Amino acid sequence: MLIFYLDMDIKNINNFNSLYGKSNTAFRNFSSNFEVLKKYNFCEKNKLEENGGKVKVGVISVATLATLGVLYSITKKRGLNPFKNFNMFKQNIEPMDMLKITGVTVPVSLATGIILDKNKENIKPKIRESISQMVGNLLIPITLIDKACKFKDSLKGKTFTNPIMKGLAKTHKAIYVAVTLTGGLMIGNKVANTINSIIFPEHKQRPLKSKDFAVHFDDLCFATSLIFKENQLGKFASRLIPATLLVSAYETGTKTKKEE
């Protein structure tokens, strides 16, 4: 914006001088320097754009390595050889496993993004996004979905005289998951905004975006693994969870002020 106004001022002065038949000597040297300034600004803009590409590659690479490390640890704790028969990629991911993966990948992606991103204005947006991802889109929704499904399982095989309990017992698990996923994201978003408002009082609240419902395949895969726990679809969805958790890590490390 400053460059735009300077450019306009120089043009106006040149026009003024030409009207009165005076040669413009006062701003001749400045004009040449101004051209250099414009070129410099263009180069800086290109550098920031290239910087964005490096940040994305760096974040996804580090997040992938961190995810593999946590999967290795989970498999070893279950008494299996992680590399035999690809056991590391065949684990049924439980809620605590998801939180372990997220607890590692989001912080390392945040650190990687801060280190690689030359635009320091993006540091706070990344920190805010890490809180929104860990609390709002993962911790609270996952916990609520897990509790709802366990409650549904506890009703199995029981008879009730209370019409409300009868209705709950007959309700398909998918309904439980859909309701708690929606409610969990809304509650999580509110809690994350509260935390961010305490840490960053000057920042406006992050609205709940449509992609928080649609793009967060981690919650959807987790929900599918619980609904179809006993069949191949549930197992397949469970094995996909570690890969889908990369979305949260990527969004954290690559967040910019412009995207808020």
Please tell me the predicted confidence (pLDDT) of residue 213: 55
Fill in the amino acid letter for 229: K
Please tell me the predicted confidence (pLDDT) of residue 191: 94
Nearest to 27 by CA among 42, 11, 39: 11
Nearest to 68 by CA among 18, 108, 28: 108
Please tell me the predicted confidence (pLDDT) of residue 210: 59
Please tell me the predicted confidence (pLDDT) of residue 181: 86
In 95-126, which positions are buried (b, 16+ CB within 10 angstroms) versus exposed (e)? bebbebbbebbbbbbbbbbeebbeeeebebbb
Burial of 196 (0-12, 13-18, 19+ CB in 10 A): buried
pTM attached to this predicted model: 0.74
CB 131, CB 195: distance < 8 Å: yes
Please tell me the predicted confidence (pLDDT) of residue 63: 97
203 vs 199: CA distance, rounded Å = 9
Nearest to 109 by CA among 89, 134, 91, 88: 134
| Residues whose CB falls within 8 Å of the CB of residue 224, separated by 6 or more in sequence, listed in order | 233, 234, 237
142 vs 190: CA distance, rounded Å = 15
Walk along the chain (260 residues) and give the pLDDT tens digit of each residue: 444 444 444 445 445 444 445 455 554 554 555 454 444 454 555 555 557 889 999 999 999 999 999 999 999 999 999 999 999 999 889 889 999 999 999 999 999 999 999 999 999 999 999 999 999 988 999 899 889 989 998 998 898 889 999 999 999 888 998 899 889 988 998 999 999 999 988 766 666 665 555 446 777 788 788 888 778 888 888 888 999 899 899 999 999 998 87
Please tell me the predicted confidence (pLDDT) of residue 255: 94
Coil, helix or strand at residue 142: helix
Structure tokens at 4: 């735009």
